[in-house]
Structure 1
Amino acid sequence: MELYNTYSAHLKKRFGEKVYKLPVNLPVTCPNRMEGRGCSFCAGVGTGFEAMSETVPVKDQLNRTKAYIGKRYGAKKFLAYFQNYTNTFLPIGEFRNYVLEALEEEDIVGISISTRPDCIRKDYLEFLNEIQQERGAAVTIEFGLQTVNYHTLKKMNRGHTLAEYLNAVLLTAPFGFEICTHVILNLPGDTVEDAVETARVISALPVSVVKAHSLYIPKNSVLYEEYRDGKISLCTKEEYINRLAEFVAELRKDIVIERLFSRVPEEDAVFSNWGVSWWKLKDLFEETMKQKGYVQGCRCNYLDGAALRRWRI
């Protein structure tokens, strides 16, 4: 029995062969940086460490990365991943042009749009629905939630609350897109209970993919200053693995897990993954799941009238 639903298997089943995501960097920022430094864990470059400069045309970004990925992994189909910052913070006309440029490439079978819960609107969704219906392109919308603990969201200066995330998912769901949610399970102040409740809220919603990130602290971020000055404490590696195991056990069985740990160049962060490689952490996570007797969704027993089942009503 598989411990959890892997993203690679999901893509292979959906498209019939290996499919890889190609990062695309657009000339856009984040509304949370317009009047300040943005989220506490964000550095000036956003999250697109592996992406090319936003000055490079979209087609060139795709083709250069495709040449490397295709040769190394033997892939022939790809997803254009609009990754960095808040892509729907672009005016709808500009956003439309960039997406259409990506889809001019015949081996691009879908797009994935990374954005904030407070930056999605019906006209953007209607455009994406057009390309899904008329061009057959698969569409995924990725929302950065991070945690359902609204106190932590405020401390991290996320600029949105849980309500905006709920609204974004419910607004998007009728269009039939895959909805992906990003979470960070070891934010300062959060506990294993927050990890469990995050899994439960996600499972109660029409979410199909989850990305779990272990917190890293980039240079030039507010969180780095707090870490340097001893104002925050981070949980241990063992505690994160335990939170991740509990999160996965509570997560609905059909949700696909795209990522378990962050991956960031060492030179860009002052703290990342406790100085341990992500594949060793993955081995430790899977060992912990087996020790606990867990598989994904084994504790997802709280939906659809749980009390009625408990009392056999």
Structure 2
Amino acid sequence: MQIKKHIVIPIFVPHKGCPFDCIFCNQKIISGQTNEASEEDIRRTIESHLETSGNAFVEIGFYGGSFTGISLKEQEWYLKIGYSYIKDGKVNQIRLSTRPDYISSTILDLLEIYGVKTIELGVQSLDYDVLKCTNRGHGIEEVKNSAKMIKDRGFSLGVQTMIGLPGDTRLKAIATAQKVVELSPDIVRIYPTLVIENTYLQKMYNDGLYQPLTIEEAVDISAELLDIYEQNNINVIRIGLQPTDNISESGEVVAGPFHPAFRQLVESRLTLKRIKQYIINNKLDKLPEIIIQCNPRYISNVIGQKRVNINTLKNEFNFKNIQIMEKLNVEKFEIIGT
């Protein structure tokens, strides 16, 4: 059976929903949204996407700032626009992102009325010191309470986390992921911290008070987190910010581990880790040659960019040759000796 295409139509809400100035944040740059959109602008955006949606499952996503931080009247204004497309049968549901401390029963009542199904919380970290260093303005209990409220009311819960924030470490990032698992989210996003223009983090970086992760460090940590979430059957829907006109090395990123194919690097690194473990567990490490049979969808992750995984395996295990073969009836890969 063919999987139905899934489309999210992004509508960016002005930053006014959030009175906090987290040191890493410049939503105008990240969202590309500088002015408040009119109803006509929003409808034009939605209808433009619908023209090419075909038979897809369609969501409207309210992103940027903190949606539930704006007034209830303003929330309802946006939601009514989105809900009109649900009533017309053109859109299936609505999703949004917000802060953990902007969730209440009253807010959830409103979201439920207007067809919101998924609420993503910008958690960033579940380490007290990291939250304090980044001026988040909330603690860990607010995250736990809001996540529970969202799940108890039947919404789908999303959790957005960041790695490499001031005060963060590899072990703290792993601990955060383990605590996120306890929240039972349906989806997770992992974002390496980037130094964006006109943020306090840029000042810290310029003053020598903050050093971002390297690409290598960010890939390694993200691969460990992806492994944790996959082992707990949690869908990681995004790893790294996506390239836009602004979010690119030649745009407004001052420093940090930005890569246009960051997720592929992470998936490939995790695949390498799992291949190594498979080789050791099955005592294939003393053979002169192995054959990796893999599902065609995973060949690029098995090989790695510029064949880095194959070269690493040859060097670490002294394999004279590694053959890659497609095999449709394996989920990801299996390895045999020759």
Alignment match of 1:100 (pick from 80, 93, 115): 80
What secondary structure sits across from 1:103 in the alignment?
helix
**Letter aligned with residue 119 of structure 2:** I
Equivalent residue letter for 1:156:
T
Higher strand proportion: 2
> Could you list the runs of 5+ residues in structure 1 that have no partner in the other structure?
1-11, 132-136, 295-313
State the SS of the aligned residue for 2:221. helix
Q: Distance in 2 between matches of 1:283 and 1:190?
A: 24
| TM-aligned CA distance change 1:236 to 1:149, over 3 Å | same
What is the distance in 2 between the residues matched to 1:43 and 1:27? Answer: 11
- 1:269–1:223 CA distance, 2 compared to 1 (3 A): same
Matched, 1:64 2:13: no
CA distance, structure 1, for counterparts of residue 109 and residue 17 of structure 2: 22
Counterpart Cα distance in 1 of 2:165 and 2:14: 28
Gaps of 5+ in 2: 276-338
- For residue 139 of structure 1, the aligned residue among 108, 113, 117 is 117
Aligned length: 264
Post-superposition CA distance 1:232-251 (Å, at most 9, x none): 11222111111112112222
TM-score by length of 1: 0.77
Alignment partners' CA distance in 2, 1:46 and 1:140: 24
Deviation of 1:52 after TM superposition, in Å, equals 7.9
Matches within 5 A, 1:1-313: 17-27=4-14, 29-33=16-20, 38-43=21-26, 45=28, 47-49=30-32, 53-57=35-39, 58-67=42-51, 70=52, 76-105=56-85, 106-131=89-114, 137=115, 139-251=117-229, 252-264=231-243, 265-266=247-248, 267-274=251-258, 276-277=259-260, 279=261, 281-293=262-274
For the residues of structure 2 that align with 1:232 and 1:66, how far apart are their CA atoms?
Answer: 43
8 Å contact kept, 1:184–1:214: yes
**C-alpha contact (below 8 Å) 1:87/1:95 kept by paired residues:** yes
Larger radius of gyration: 2
> Displacement, 1:261?
1.0
1:46 and 1:85 in contact (8 A); partners too = no
Given the two structures, how large is their TM-score scaled by the length of structure 2?
0.72
1:27 Cα deviation from its structure 2 partner: 4.5
- The answer (yes or no) to whether the contact 2:63–2:96 under 8 Å persists in 1 is yes
What does the per-residue CA deviation read over 1:176-197, in whole Å, with 9 as the maximum and x for residues that have no partner? Answer: 1110000011213211111211
* Residues 225-272 of structure 1: CA deviation (Å, up to 9, x unaligned): 111121111222111111112112222532111101112522222125
Q: How many percent identity over aligned positions?
A: 24
Partner of 1:114, secondary structure, is: strand
Moved more, 57-66 or 219-228: 57-66
What SS is found at the alignment partner of 2:100?
Answer: coil
